[in-house]
Structure 1
Amino acid sequence: MNRKICVITGTRAEYGLLRWIMQGIKDDPELSLQIIATGMHLSPEFGLTYRAIEQDGFVIDRKVEMMLSSDTPVGIAKSMGLGLIGFADALNDLQPDLLVVLGDRFEIFSAVSAALVARIPVAHLHGGESTEGAIDEAFRHSITKMSHLHFVAAEAYRQRVIQLGEQSERVFLVGGLGIDNIKRLRLLDRTSLEEALDFQFGAKNLLVTFHPVTLETATASCQMAELLAALADLPDTRLIFTLPNADTDGRVLIEMVEQFVAEHGNARAYASLGQLRYLSCIAQVDGVVGNSSSGLLEAPSFRKGSVNIGDRQKGRLLAGSVIGCEPTRESIAAALEHLYSAEFQESLHDVVNPYGEGGASEKVIETLKRYDLSGIVKKTFNDL
């Protein structure tokens, strides 16, 4: 009987990383793919991105509604509760042999909590990483402790998962999943991308994504205001914004970006670009600006510079292409000036991505297919 592997996805970016694993499971005659879509995928406000999953040829087996019309701490906590109820029902219906999840968001925490109680083994992707400015930090490590197989992007992260008490033989170093997209997707050229975006590139172009720093109180709008002030002063620069995720205080940032775009003809904002357009943008712009993980994980493979603002990604491994700065307009402006400097641009030719050169998806699939799952839900704490 085929091994039933259930993949859960809640955001556009997460699906982009999971896509080739899902395709590999679907194509393997010894495996049976199940998909649960949740979170932002089901929200009109964030582009109903579950449609992109279906357009790629996948069948979504269950949709777990958990989004509320609030991004307050109370609203997010209630969403997690709704998710726990929904995942309990979905997993009971689907009865998977193994659950596959990625990362660190609250949707995934709810899903894995339900799986733990249901005694369904969990394979966790991109564990062991650190984002000290976000509540994702605690979610990620908690998901690690509720999971049974671990696929990490770098040796430092493998060591951290083991430090958390996981058995080394269950921790697999595979590299970053995002690099597989870069290798496999046929990216759009500039003309095709301009047509797809209804946007014309200029002499200078930047891709901008800024999310709330969820472990800081009442800083989101202040930091976004500083970023927008720095961007407003840039001469002859076209700006492509991707809107923030459904995090605490995310909606106030969306409103600020939309207001900025309404007042600046050189800027456009998109709720969701999808992986093809997003990666094509990285290939065409001069650099990535904000605090999205893509500026650290994917942009180095394009030899593109990233301006990483504030503490949201603090603790991650950084390529030489990443410029860190404080969330003030002066610091951001200085980082942007450095990004465009001839010396920095020359240095990008020698950048090495610390998350590898691709091939992670195939390594994950092979382990999911072959690993003996009997008795795997009983874990022994690995004392160092």
Structure 2
Amino acid sequence: MIKRKICVVTSSRADYGLLYWPMKKIQDDPDLELQLIVTGTHLSGSFGHTYKLIESDGFKIDKKIEIIESGDSNVAVIKSMGHTLIGFSNTFNELSPDIVLVLGDRYEMFAVTQAAFVSNKVVAHMFGGDTTEGAQDEAFRHGMTKMSYLHFTSNEVSRQRVVQLGEEPERVFNVGSTGVDYIKNLKLLSLKKIENDLKLTFKKQNILVTYHPVTLENNSYKEDFKELLNALEELGDEFGIIFTKSNSDAGGRLIGEMIDEFVEKNPSSFAYFSLGQLRYLSVMSKVDLVLGNSSSGIYEAPSMGVATVNIGDRQGGRLQSKSILNSSPLKNHILNNIKIAMDLDCSKIETPYGNGNSSSLIIEILKKFPLKENCLKKKFYHVERNYES
């Protein structure tokens, strides 16, 4: 029997954590062959050369494609997208996969999907249909949906949105989030191990902070993040603050510089480029609160029983558990929400993102879904609606 070749593309620490279990199950399945392309910030020393973590996890990397342009301006992002198209221009023809598996909504993954689509490859897209009203990712995600043939959504509302975009329901599957899979299968590090690895000592109360630039706002993220830092400074030394630095979006390096300045002045604060998924989730399990605008506060934190204060509009529109408080980017509002969140009991919080079997569902579909000749010629599926005059 000829194995079905599944080409997985990972570009950052964030998507790798969500792709780990699908990759592992593809690798272990006798009917499938894993092809792995590593790109983006994985290959950047500024972000910790995280491709080494992928190799240490036992995965063979078939291709490393460098795409990141120096700098964090919109121009640098556009150039990185161009590098992605050029770098991937012949890759899919060389590897000749049956299916290309992509995840999410990042600008570089949008360009990867473009390259796969123009190369006439079947694209399977994880987590289309979500909404993030404050970020360019919203448009990238929906664009990736229209270039994809198979769709794996994280919840039922997102499944309906993908169908609303014209995708035939029989190709759209609500599988839940693979982030929940990762948590369910993870053996977390002990507090002592975390403290030894990160060279810090936890305080009585601790906050994990991840904040990314809001790409649809005109540089207001600088002032917004300054408000967050002012709020943290007012908490004083009784709180331990653990920062993970921003992604490669325009403005990410400035956020990193502001974090470094804060940590230098506040001895109970620590900052890291990349903790890796195991350390990151282990830290999350030990803190009292996740603070910022990262999707991990929406997806993973509720499954860990940890409260989230979500700041601003970057995650606007995503389904949320009751452990998540939304705050404007103003110091007093942030402080008030931190106080409320610290008193929340999140031990029995339910999440709308599945029960930890998402990867198994994805693999069965990748393995068995029929790929008919000319299947890329998709018909637009019209959703019947009753419009009032």
Range into which the TM-score falls when normalised by the shorter chain: over 0.9
Instruction: Tell me the distance in 1 between the aligned counterparts of 2:336 and 2:74.
Output: 34
Are the aligned partners of 1:175 and 1:357 in contact in 2 as well (CA < 8 Å)?
A: yes
| Corresponding residue for residue 135 of structure 1 | 136
Q: Secondary structure at the match of 1:277?
A: helix
> Which residues in structure 2 correspond to 1:67-216 (within 5 Å)?
67-216=68-217
What is the deviation of 1:3? 0.9
TM-score normalised according to structure 2 size: 0.96
Instruction: Tell me the distance in 2 between the aligned counterparts of 1:273 and 1:284.
Output: 14
What is the deviation of 1:16? 0.4
Instruction: Tell me the distance in 1 between the aligned counterparts of 2:10 and 2:34.
Output: 13
Does structure 1 residue 370 correspond to structure 2 residue 368? yes
| Corresponding residue for residue 386 of structure 2 | none
| Corresponding residue for residue 292 of structure 1 | 294
Q: Deviations over 1:202-254 (max 9, x none)?
A: 10001000000000011121111110000011130001100000001111000
Does structure 1 residue 40 correspond to structure 2 residue 38? no
Q: Deviations over 1:72-123 (max 9, x none)?
A: 1111011101100111122121111110000000111111101111100000
| Corresponding residue for residue 310 of structure 2 | 308
TM-score normalised according to structure 1 size: 0.98
| Corresponding residue for residue 379 of structure 2 | 380
> Which residues in structure 2 correspond to 1:250-261 (within 5 Å)?
250-261=252-263
Instruction: Tell me the distance in 1 between the aligned counterparts of 2:114 and 2:134.
Output: 23
Segments of 5+ residues of structure 2 without an aligned counterpart are: 384-389
| Corresponding residue for residue 387 of structure 2 | none
Instruction: Tell me the distance in 1 between the aligned counterparts of 2:28 and 2:206.
Output: 39
Q: Which amino acid aligns with 1:366?
A: E
What is the deviation of 1:337? 1.1
What is the deviation of 1:302? 1.4
| Corresponding residue for residue 352 of structure 1 | 350
Q: Secondary structure at the match of 1:21?
A: helix
Q: Which amino acid aligns with 1:281?
A: V
| Corresponding residue for residue 22 of structure 2 | 21
Instruction: Tell me the distance in 1 between the aligned counterparts of 2:347 and 2:36.
Output: 39
CA root-mean-square deviation: 0.8
What is the deviation of 1:357? 1.5
191-200 vs 11-20, which moves further: 191-200
Number of aligned residues: 380
Q: Which amino acid aligns with 1:363?
A: L
Identity of aligned residues (%): 50
Q: Secondary structure at the match of 2:5?
A: strand
Are the aligned partners of 1:64 and 1:90 in contact in 2 as well (CA < 8 Å)?
A: no
Are the aligned partners of 1:238 and 1:267 in contact in 2 as well (CA < 8 Å)?
A: yes
Instruction: Tell me the distance in 2 between the aligned counterparts of 1:195 and 1:367.
Output: 42
Instruction: Tell me the distance in 2 between the aligned counterparts of 1:240 and 1:61.
Output: 34
What is the deviation of 1:350? 3.4
Q: Secondary structure at the match of 2:353?
A: coil
Are the aligned partners of 1:131 and 1:314 in contact in 2 as well (CA < 8 Å)?
A: yes
Instruction: Tell me the distance in 1 between the aligned counterparts of 2:339 and 2:333.
Output: 10
Segments of 5+ residues of structure 1 without an aligned counterpart are: none
